[in-house]
Structure 1
Amino acid sequence: MTDSKGPAGADTGRHETEEERADRRWGDLLQELRVAQTGVQILFGFLLTVIFQQRFTSLSDTDRHLYVVTVVLGAATTGALVGPVAMHRLLTGRKLKPETVVWASRLTVLGLLLLLCTMACSLLLVLRVAMADTGAAWLVGGVVAWFVLCWSVVPLWARHRSGPGAR
């Protein structure tokens, strides 16, 4: 077992080996992915049905292009958020858990960034149609700012307040 000293000798409060830490972090990551994957899969499923609606043919060229971008972003988001599961499955038993957790975490962050883009494009498409494009971009900008605040600013602020070396 390793000691619980982190950077600069700070006590991390946990007495776990590198493998135990990787197992714990993997479990945490799986819980996060379950939430994100479910939402993304539902959103992506709805996006795939839009093209089959009668009103789709009446969309402007701009809205159709926006729809295509949104669907591609949704697919990319799904890939990034399902990627850690595939990675784990392909690397299980190869004694690479700590590395797997690092790469899966990076894929998850990428997936969340892509989710932000997918949500913004989806919202822009819906609001452009609902509001005849009047102010839709401003509303989407406000929602994106809200997401950035909730998903990035608040967690980074909390991390900063916790001080260096907090795990």
Structure 2
Amino acid sequence: MTGTDKNELIHGSLGDDTITGGKGIDFLFGAEGNDTLSGGPGDDFLYGGDGNDRLIGGLGNDYLKGNAGKDTFVFGADAGGRDTIADFQYGQDHLEIKANLNNNGLKTAAQVISTATANEDGDAVLHLGGGIEILLVGVQPSHLHADMVIMN
């Protein structure tokens, strides 16, 4: 399922879905199954649902919530802005980050973790350079480990 340039609400179905938003502000909802949600440009809201999902915010300040399952939050060449991950689960979920994203010099998971600071609420914020930040709600910087990060 693919969105348009308008603001949209797109729901997946049972099974494994691939849902891609358009240029507007999109609300993408996976369902049961292992879904891939990609927001694209714009400030998007991605909700994985049940299953082991891949959530790709893209450009903009995105809100990502994997819900149940072992979810992967992807930050690749099209990443941009400050994304919020609302429910990162220790031991289950992973961050997948493109090595040397925007020529930031971060090539290892340990280097990515070393960028973490705490916001005013004590939540971890990863600073990936080029204006790209990842806020991990409910996760303290001291609880981050390199095994939570997959470099690609």
TM-score by length of 1: 0.21
Greater share of helix: 1
Greater share of strand: 2
TM-score by length of 2: 0.23
- Report which structure shows greater RCO (CA 8 Å, sep ≥6): 1
Structure number, greater radius of gyration = 1
